[in-house]
Amino acid sequence: MSVKRIGVLTSGGDAPGMNACVRSVVRTALYHGIECYGIRRGWNGLITGDVLRLDEKKISHIINRGGTILYTARSKEFLSEEGQKKAVSTCKFLGLDGIVAIGGDGTFMGARALTLKGVPCIGIPGTIDNDIASTSHTIGYDTALNTIMDMVDRVRDTTESHDRCSVIEVMGRNAGFLALNAGIAVGATCILVPEIDYDIDSYIIERMKRTMTTGKHHFIIIVAEGVKGVEVGSLAKYIEEKTGVESRATVLGHVQRGGSPSVRDRVIASKMGYHAVQLLKQDIGNRVVAIDHAEIVDYDIIEALNMKKTIDPELYKIANEISI
């Protein structure tokens, strides 16, 4: 079958670089004589028929923009059989021969369901969390890391000026990739990630007291949002009580998801978008595009969803040895 028209959507939490990926999908498709439709608000757009034709003009000047011009959503309706049937009939009505879906694991489950119903779909990993096992890097991760580094550097200026301790919560849902790597980049004294259990007294309080003997009086503690039983406000109070160091809590929040994508995210997004269209052109669906360090690869969606990835224990060891 020759592929004439495809759709592209973004789903789940937005991530910087999604627009660069949409642009790459559209540009690659047009280059090969394939029409491209943008589907708005993730899978919801396929259910309601909220689509727009994407031409060269519609996707110009978006490579540098954060967020997603297609909007995004986490569609509940698409999880149901009925929702998926509606999506298939929209695809048939519009003559869509395939879909590129940019998002996380939930998005890939949707891509698999639709492929099994006869519409080939390709998933592309887009999330700041980097918690997708099949790929070494997700679109948005590098930008978010740089944003966190920049924000924490600013917090450090005031933390140091007041001889304080700043306890800073970063995103990452249940994964510690953002916390660990950003923590190293900002020279954090302690980094708490969901993958590791802690004893607060020995890991934070003892370490801070030891550090104070070197003459240092300001501290940055990075906490991943998914660390069980830790709330940064209460942790800051506890630290102040136990060490006498005045402490403040900062939740970085959604600032981490915004902003212009980094070089790395723009390039990865462009390569992944290109690769996805090459697969659809051959009428191949049910694949996840990934990057294995520098090489672009693809996997069966179920194989990709069953993969496991965790923080690098060696990196964690390094972080703890070089921080005081």
Binding site for ligand F6P (CB under 6 A): 13, 127-129, 171-173, 225, 257
**Distance between CA atoms of residues 146 and 167, nearest Å:** 18
Closer of 110 and 172 to ligand F6P (Cβ): 172
**Distance between CA atoms of residues 189 and 220, nearest Å:** 6
**Distance between CA atoms of residues 119 and 96, nearest Å:** 8
Q: Is 89 helix (H, G, I), strand (E, B) or coil?
A: helix
Cβ-proximal residues to 80 (8 Å cutoff; 6+ apart), any chain? none
Closer of 113 and 132 to ligand F6P (Cβ): 132
Among candidate residues 97, 105, 129, 265, the one labeled active-site is 129
- Give kind and range of the element (H or E) at residue 206: helix 206-212
129 flagged as catalytic: yes
Please report how close the Cβ of residue 271 comes to ligand F6P at its closest, in angstroms: 22
Please report how close the Cβ of residue 254 comes to ligand F6P at its closest, in angstroms: 6
Pairing mode, if any, of strands 35-39 and 5-10? parallel
The amino acid sitting at 294 is A
Closer of 98 and 226 to ligand F6P (Cβ): 226
Q: Is 303 helix (H, G, I), strand (E, B) or coil?
A: helix
Please report how close the Cβ of residue 175 comes to ligand F6P at its closest, in angstroms: 8
Neighbours of 260 (CB within 10 A): 15
Closer of 97 and 131 to ligand F6P (Cβ): 131
Please report how close the Cβ of residue 320 comes to ligand F6P at its closest, in angstroms: 24
Dmax of the chain from CA atoms?
72
Radius of gyration of the chain (CA): 22
Closer of 58 and 173 to ligand F6P (Cβ): 173
**Distance between CA atoms of residues 130 and 128, nearest Å:** 6
Active site residues: 129
